[in-house]
Homo-oligomer: A and B are copies of this chain.
Amino acid sequence: MVRKASIEFRITRSETTTMMRSHYCGQLNESLEGQEVTLCGWVHRRRDHGGVIFLDIRDREGLAQVVFDPDRAETFAAADRVRSEYVVKITGKVRLRPAGAGNANMASGMIEVLGYELEVLNEAETPPFPLNEYSDVGEETRLRYRFIDLRRPEMAEKLRLRSRMTTSIRRYLDENGFLDVETPILTRATPEGARDYLVPSRTHAGSFFALPQSPQLFKQLLMVAGFDRYYQIAKCFRDEDLRADRQPEFTQIDIETSFLDEKDIMGLTEGMIRNLFKEVLDLEFGEFPHMTFEEAMRRYGSDKPDLRNPLELVDVADQLKEVEFKVFSGPANDPKCRIAALRVPGGASMPRKQIDDYTKFVGIYGAKGLAYIKVNERAKGVEGLQSPIVKNIPEANLNVILDRVGAVDGDIVFFGADKAKIVSEALGALRIKLGHDLNLLTCEWAPMWVVDFPMFEENDDGSFTALHHPFTAPKCSPEELEANPASALSRAYDMVLNGTELGGGSIRIHRKEMQQAVFRLLGISEAEQEEKFGFLLDALKYGAPPHGGLAFGLDRLVMLMTGAQSIREVIAFPKTQSAACVMTQAPGLVDAKALRELHIRLREQPKAE
């Protein structure tokens, strides 16, 4: 997946330099034939063959084979003593490998080094898992010995790509006039909605700092301060139960601009991502398609559709309003429901067992069943269809539905009929699963923008929750917003790649009256506004410019670009799913004096470990 980067720097030896190595192992090649080199690295593999010793030496840039022959008795004896993962310094002469002995899988595979001198810089006990052959090691062990796990080239390469990615991103943003500004880590509780990590204050008894869930308000304040274009690759924190792609601390590419509208901001940041893929993976993307939230939900059942997947949801409620079958006619006549069909080309051959599995799968999302029609031979009419539901639907309606989804012989069509949210989520997820199971993806990368999000989600009790965050600007005036909050659209935009939300942002509210209108709709009293957001309201009244921005999840972006299976693979020292570090054993116990200084006590004594 990851293309090997060419190394863009060279080792320079100034006169005063006593640098130990002359070359990295991976840099050796035929052009150095006859030259004396000094390598430093780890013994990756050792073989004795025909009276000589072969050591594969590993460093950051790759492997090199060094040969020791008995002619140099002392060096040969030293080479004989080394074991896997010993740290060595070797001087020798580069020579071509004998014809037929080359290794095309190794950058230095056409040459070897005849070893003159070998110095053991450090010994190594046998590592807890081998590095020179594949072995299936549990993640707990790998995390405990992360300093060994990260020696594996495929792990190191991911972090290396991550470093190249941030370099590319920073360069792009610098060139576009963005200033890198650091915002505080010890701050006030942020209103992103997740649980904050709290830090007790020693100097203010009973008070706590919160670690930021994002630098959202600080970046807005930087716009009010006139910085015009800000970025930061910022650590953010959430004390939530962890899923596979979540970590207690994560990294955000945080961007904010003034005097630009959403089109400008999307253009600038799309350029950044396009430039990133070009520089790091040598991939060229065209302009990203834009899709409204409404269309994304309608066609893909998701606000982050994976456009590599050709399957689409098609609404068919209009054809089912009159049927006697309550499972359909109920939702068909309820404006809060939807009925959608999902045609799977060639799916008619699907065995019953597989359909049962998919039925269970959509159950996870609340769907009570998974109706289907196998289209065996449309020319035969209802006779040509195999389905538990066709008898309940008039043939005319059936034909409209099959025409609308484009069903041809050999297809299967799945149906969902329920609350709109359930149908979209269940069929949206089924669509993704089918795409992978049936190998339907049409391309490797499908970036896109989703726009025109609703301002609010309406809760069952009629109250509203901000779909993005409460600082997102609506597309209308404060009066229109308060008159019609449920249907108001926001000026938010999400960048989606392969069904994953890479980043999201919006034009922010820059006028105090609008901010207060949104707070009111969210049920935040004036007193609470003043207490929690007084400084923001102050900032909006002293000349806040129109502004907006975006934040990308860096870890997820690296995960996608390296093809990693988990976010933990692209973080040097990640936490486990229980938010702990098994290597350093954090979190740990602290002594009573420290707690006293922080004006806190434990609710109960921890058990002795």
Where the two chains meet, the residues of A that have a C-beta atom closer than 8 Å to any C-beta of B are 7-9, 11, 14, 16-21, 40-42, 58-60, 85-87, 89, 121-125, 127-128, 145-151, 156, 159-160, 162-163, 166-167, 170, 174-177, 179-189, 195-211, 217-218, 221-222, 224-229, 235, 237, 239, 248-249, 251, 258-261, 263-264, 267, 510-511, 534-535, 538-539, 541-546, 571-573, 575, 578-581, 583-590, 594, 596-606
Q: Which residues of B contact A14 (CB under 8 A)?
A: 267
Q: Which residues of B contact A538 (CB under 8 A)?
A: 145
Taken together, the copies of this chain in the complex come to: 2
Within 8 Å by CB of A218, from B222, B267, B572, B579, lies B572
B590 touches A189 (CB 8 A): yes
A8 to B205, CA, bound (A): 48
Q: Which residues of B contact A261 (CB under 8 A)?
A: 18-20
Q: Which residues of B contact A541 (CB under 8 A)?
A: 124-125
A41 to B544, CA, bound (A): 10
A107 to chain B, nearest CB (A): 16
Within 8 Å by CB of A207, from B162, B204, B211, B588, lies B588
Within 8 Å by CB of A182, from B197, B251, B260, lies B251
CB nearest to A43 among chain B residues: B543
Q: Which residues of B contact A586 (CB under 8 A)?
A: 184, 186-188, 209-210
Within 8 Å by CB of A145, from B146, B185, B542, B594, lies B542
A130 to chain B, nearest CB (A): 12
Q: Which residues of B contact A584 (CB under 8 A)?
A: 187-188, 217, 535
Given A206-B589, A210-B586, A538-B145, A600 and B599 contact (CB-CB distance below 8 Å): no
Within 8 Å by CB of A147, from B196, B224, B251, B572, lies B224
A60 touches B218 (CB 8 A): no
Given A177-B9, A584-B188, A259 and B40 contact (CB-CB distance below 8 Å): yes
A542 touches B207 (CB 8 A): no
Q: Which residues of B contact A9 (CB under 8 A)?
A: 174-177
A150 touches B589 (CB 8 A): no
B603 touches A596 (CB 8 A): yes
A199 touches B183 (CB 8 A): no
A463 to B179, CA, bound (A): 49
Q: Which residues of B contact A41 (CB under 8 A)?
A: 226
Q: Which residues of B contact A85 (CB under 8 A)?
A: 542-543
Quick one: which of A146, A225, A587 has the most chain B CB within 10 A? A587
B545 touches A225 (CB 8 A): no
A418 to chain B, nearest CB (A): 34
CB nearest to A40 among chain B residues: B259
Q: Which residues of B contact A198 (CB under 8 A)?
A: 199-200, 590, 594, 598
A150 touches B226 (CB 8 A): yes
A163 touches B177 (CB 8 A): no
B87 touches A19 (CB 8 A): no
A87 to chain B, nearest CB (A): 5
B602 touches A603 (CB 8 A): no
CB nearest to A600 among chain B residues: B600
A578 touches B203 (CB 8 A): yes
Q: Which residues of B contact A179 (CB under 8 A)?
A: 159-160, 163
Q: Which residues of B contact A585 (CB under 8 A)?
A: 188, 534-535
Q: Which residues of B contact A197 (CB under 8 A)?
A: 186, 199, 209
B264 touches A226 (CB 8 A): no
CB nearest to A571 among chain B residues: B182
B176 touches A163 (CB 8 A): no
Given A198-B199, A605-B206, A122 and B187 contact (CB-CB distance below 8 Å): no
